[in-house]
Chains A and B, each alone.
Chain A
Amino acid sequence: MRETTRHISPLQYAILESTAFIGIGIFEFPRMLVLQAGNDAWWGLIADGAAACLEIWLLLKVAMVDPEETLLGMARRIWPGPGYWAFGLIDNLVHLILPVIALTQFTYVIVTFFLPDTTPWTIELVMTAMAAYIAWWDLPALVRTIQVVYIPVMAVSIGMLILLIPHITNTYAIWPSANLRLYPTMLGALHTFYIFVGFESIPLFWPYVRRQDQPRARHYTYWVLALSCVFYAGILAATLGSENPWYLVHLEWPGISALRLISVVGLLLDKLGLLVVVFWGILSLFFISIRFWSLTHALLPMVRQRTITWYRGIMLGFALTVFAIALLVPNVQVADSWIARSVPFVLLFIFVYPVAFLGTAAWRKRHPVRDIPLSGSVHRIDGQSSPGRH
């Protein structure tokens, strides 16, 4: 590897962590939330934020079991044998579903609004190739690429939300309901939790943060969640206010539909809002890149390989797999149904495994197995010695 360092700074970690989830939910949010929870949508978002906070707490605990080892590396010692393989395969499946959803979502956004005559597979192929290209040089290069684009994209997105304020004509819809209905709220929260699916990558990223930076990174993780909640709250308010709630639930991508209203007379790009769609597309691209990286790093320890050649080979294999699965999605409704079906499964996985993992780790600490050390030297992807192993 040619990177000067394989570590990432706490800020880079925070950007990576937020890109690991924001690219999948930004287009569809808040349709399912308003559809299911109605006027309790705000409570649903709060419930999702609280659940994500719990998830982060659990995953940080998992990461701290061995702060210099990635998830699958730790799992080999925590659940040796078939348990490890079962866990690895499920983890791989989770990471495989997410890029397929992101890829099809963004492809159909492009086809619907910009290129109605283009066949979806060409866009999917280009997106897959670019995502693989971004992930080609492993994590530090990936995160530096994201860092360059992420901050301007978020700044422009916030600017666009501000420009949307004059279009907020349904102010009544912004007020939260005073009569909380628990079942619809929880249903809406469940179907919208995908906006925070991505935090499960914490144990994968964690060893790349220097040991002395890890306390700061832990705080940043919670800040990422808090700022993301504020960002999503902004989208919820802007879409509810500019579209009415009954229209919103009929729109496939409410955020984009609202942004299309932004028009600046006299400016060369008068439909300024649509520019954000392109930027959000880049976030989707990064999301897919991170998933390719996560997939590969979940599999490499299982096959006991850690060279860059293996990394690239497996990553390309996964990219092709994701592309092939995406070809099976004939339209965006099918992609939606995939999200609806997979979210409960993903949710179950990311909440159940940390509890089981932490329980087993605690038990192993009391009953150590001699030949499987809880902390030990594992080599990095390029064969150099630690820190920052996979």
Chain B
Amino acid sequence: MKLGQRKLIRLAVLAMLLLSGCADNRPLNHRALVLALGFAPAPRGQISMIFQIPTPAGLARPSMGGGKGESSPTTFTLVGTGPTVARAFSSAQADLNKDLYFGQLQTLILSTHLSARQFGDIASTLARWGTLDKTAYTLATPANVPLVLSTRSKTTPLAPLYVSTGFWCTHCPVVDLKRQIWNLEQAQFAPAQDLWLPGIQPIAVGFQIQPIVLYRGNRVARILTPHQTTLLGYVLGRTNKGTVDLRWHGRRVSVDSLRAEPQLSARWQRSRLYLHVNLTVTGNIYSFPIPLAVEPRLTWLDQAVKHVLTVQCRALLQSLGRQGLDPFQWGDAFVWQHPHGLKTWLHAYRHAVWIISAHVQLRELGDNT
């Protein structure tokens, strides 16, 4: 055999081996790229899976929105229902002549009305789905899931795009509530940490992503108010733009852009658990209603903000503790070092003494002082 022929054969063999990776390549138009996936309870204990999928026209437009006057829809919604997630998925897949693909998933929305069994099935199935993108943002909603997915906001036309653009900027929202499928799966296996997810609600002009939804095990245990969410955000180190309203001789004083760096520690004393939360708070004040020297008013403001935050945070954390809800990692850290100490921890956590301290440093801004 000549040298040239040998080289040709070698090249052909190498090309065959290298190109084999394309063996089960599927063209994009054979795939239905799921942008948003929702789960909601259905009648007779069944689960509904709601898929939001871009149309070919939608895929061609980067914004996915379509402007005024554009008639062709950019997405369509597919619903599959079944007693389990697998059956619901099969039911949806049967209605579609394309391969449902989760590699481009942006948002996962879970109804807060799902039963513990349904939630467990969902979490377990998601954990096993190899091609699923685990970084997709995850939210909970007490509202109707298809309604959430079909709502348009002012800035972005689709819920998944609204959510993803909102979460990309960690310092933009009042509280950074970014959670991913990954966090959901982690919490499933953590012995003492309770899952929390941001809640999403459709409102008249778009969405509100504010309250934190707290789970115990696989069930929703408590939905916080927006104010409680901000308070918990301080302790989790996620509040960017908190606000505190104060009164100075009947006049309203507002402190803005409050953020906190938390330091958490636990201490045992005579079999009693003491949980320390130390907040280093910074914030801005733009105007003060009455003339007063700078130094005393800032001192008064620091003290007042410190008082409000410590009192309100303690009240919230104590109530969470009494409910046995631990959105932090206190319990996991304890059980990791004491593998048989889960029961001890759970009992101690419910009766823990919360010690909240804060160091507040405010800056005075504005040009009307």
Contacts and interface: CB of A to CB of B under 8 A. Distances in A.
Given A39-B337, A122-B23, A260 B134 contact: yes
B208 interface: no
Interface in B9-51: 13-14, 17, 20, 23-24
Contacts of A118: 23-24
B130 A112 contact: yes
Interface string A119-136: 000100010011001000
Contacts of A172: 329, 332-333, 336-337
B133 A271 contact: yes
Nearest to B131: A116
B69 interface: no
Interface stretch (B85-93, B148-156, B188-196): B188-196
Contacts of A129: 13, 17
B319 interface: no
A302 to B, nearest CB: 30
A133 B131 contact: no
Contacts of A169: 329
B274 interface: no
A179 B341 CA distance: 14
A133 B130 contact: no
A250 B189 contact: yes
B24 A115 contact: yes
Given A116-B131, A244-B190, A246-B190, A261 B336 contact: no
Interface residues of B, number: 27
Interface residues of A, number: 33
B135 A113 contact: no
Interface in A249-264: 250, 257, 260-261, 263
A126 B130 CA distance: 22
A247 B332 CA distance: 12
B130 A113 contact: yes
Interface string B278-315: 00000000000000000000000000000000000000
Interface in A225-259: 243-247, 250, 257
A12 interface: no
Contact of A247 (B13, B135, B168, B186): B186
A173 B24 contact: no
Contacts of B186: 243-244, 247
A145 interface: no
A3 interface: no
Given A112-B130, A261-B134, A247 B336 contact: no
Contacts of B193: 244
B182 interface: yes
Contacts of A260: 133-135
Interface string B321-346: 00000000100110011010000000
Interface string B203-238: 000000000000000000000000000000000000
B121 interface: no
A133 B189 contact: no
Contacts of B333: 172
A173 B336 contact: yes
Nearest to B330: A172
Contacts of A178: 337
Nearest to B183: A169
Contacts of B190: 244, 246-247
Q: Which of B20, B190, B336 has the most CB of A within 10 A?
A: B336
B20 A177 contact: no
Contact of B189 (A115, A122, A244): A244
A30 to B, nearest CB: 15
Interface of A: 38-39, 112-118, 122, 126, 129-130, 133, 169-170, 172-173, 177-179, 243-247, 250, 257, 260-261, 263, 265, 271
11 contacts: A113-B130, A116-B131, A118-B24, A122-B23, A129-B13, A130-B17, A172-B336, A244-B189, A246-B189, A263-B135, A265-B168
* List of 8 A-B pairs having minimum Cβ-Cβ separation, nearest first: A172-B333, A112-B130, A246-B189, A247-B189, A118-B24, A126-B20, A247-B186, A117-B24
Given A116-B130, A247-B188, 13 more contacts: A38-B339, A112-B130, A116-B131, A117-B24, A133-B17, A170-B329, A172-B337, A247-B185, A247-B190, A250-B189, A257-B134, A265-B168, A271-B133
